[in-house]
A and B are shown apart, each in its own frame.
Chain A
């Protein structure tokens, strides 16, 4: 009981005192993941819609590719983008490596396939007559698609929540592209990895509990948004 009890106690202390370092890591996590998921939604929702509504040659191949991308290991994304963003890479002059923006880019790459895929699934499961009805009523194709999107908004929200879950919980991209810089790119997950390597297991576990609580709050918020 000692170890777990201590961790729980530390967690509550941290949350109640809301110490500056913990506040910053929580904020960096929330902020990068939120930015990433918004961009991923803006990219992934249209991709999912388009793939769901159109039939063309090579579609099956694209779907298989999208499914594979969902399984992208975070360290592989980290590695590829590291090569791109490093000073020696093609995007090096931008100086993005080890900045929050680099993490946002990496997490966007991780989340977009998930959002696209789940939106695609929602489109496939929706009543396709909505589109036809809207079209016969004189709507443009875009208006019809928006009408469909309204109809499947629960599915879209589920896609966004799943994507958010993936990026806020990942550690590979945040560590490799962010560099775990205190008060700048240190997220909840990289902080947990760091505290564990320092032997501060209780503190690490406390951060883990805090991370779960934050994820819970975000999901409750999204749920409320969805109810409206």
Chain B
């Protein structure tokens, strides 16, 4: 009989649900797509999980969303890259114990024919100004991510409000934006890690790099346990200690993608 079979399926599935759900202690980490997609966390987390017999649940979203998840208490720890937003998060009482973990850098990518003529420029703001003046296509993340807020800061510093046919707000992740900029033969700003992952799939080349304004530090913050009682503060604290430990630093600086170092530790 059909109904009896269904009932048996339900019961066995519910049994499975209860048996797999509560294996070990869980720590919820909201972080940016750059750390997860590069594969860094897959190397960094297992030693910590082993020693503490826990599991770190990684929710990879943009910096803006990660901070929101911290504010609502849906995660225990956030690891993001947008210093001014991080400070606001801590000052408003949403987070405690902010620490520097590591940094990487942004690069400005452009098509090989370089219509704005900015290749090799040492100043990110001057390069952006040239892109705007020459009406060259620029694809922006437009998604409130850490990369997006840095890009907006740089436009502001350059004294330009980007708008017009040449300025495309994609509202998508870094990889999609690189693809889009490549298809449209435009410029974009990317973190170096995502660019390296895409370097073989995109016609875009690095045109500007090494400016201090492109420096990209990652901070890690515990969600304030006095605001959200369910936050696993003890484990979160251990996690921060681990991330800033000698062992983690070696893993971070030793991490390679396509033979290139992506992240540098904060001394």
Residues of A within 8 A of B (CB): 31, 34-35, 38-39, 41-42, 86-88, 92, 95, 97-101, 153, 156, 179-182, 184, 194, 196-199, 201, 225
Contacts and interface: CB of A to CB of B under 8 A. Distances in A.
A197 B17 contact: no
B72 A87 contact: yes
Contact of A42 (B6, B21, B37): B6
A199 B13 contact: no
Secondary structure class of chain A's binding surface, majority of residues = helix
B175 A197 contact: yes
12 contacts: A39-B10, A42-B6, A86-B74, A87-B72, A92-B73, A95-B230, A100-B17, A153-B2, A179-B59, A194-B60, A197-B33, A225-B5
Contacts of A87: 72-74, 228, 230
Given A34-B9, A38-B6, A87-B230, A101 B17 contact: yes
Given A95-B230, A198-B175, A225-B5, A180 B17 contact: no
Contacts of B42: 182
A184 B9 contact: no
Contact of B58 (A86, A97, A101, A181): A181
Given A87-B228, A88-B72, A88-B73, A41 B57 contact: no
Interface residues of B, number: 33
A181 B59 contact: yes
B256 interface: no
A31 B16 contact: yes
Interface in B15-54: 16-17, 21, 28, 33, 37, 42
B103 interface: no
B176 interface: yes
A199 B198 contact: yes
A34 B13 contact: yes
A184 B57 contact: yes
Q: Which 5 A-B pairs have CB atoms at the shortest separation, nearest pair first? A: A87-B73, A179-B59, A197-B173, A197-B175, A199-B198
Nearest to A183: B55
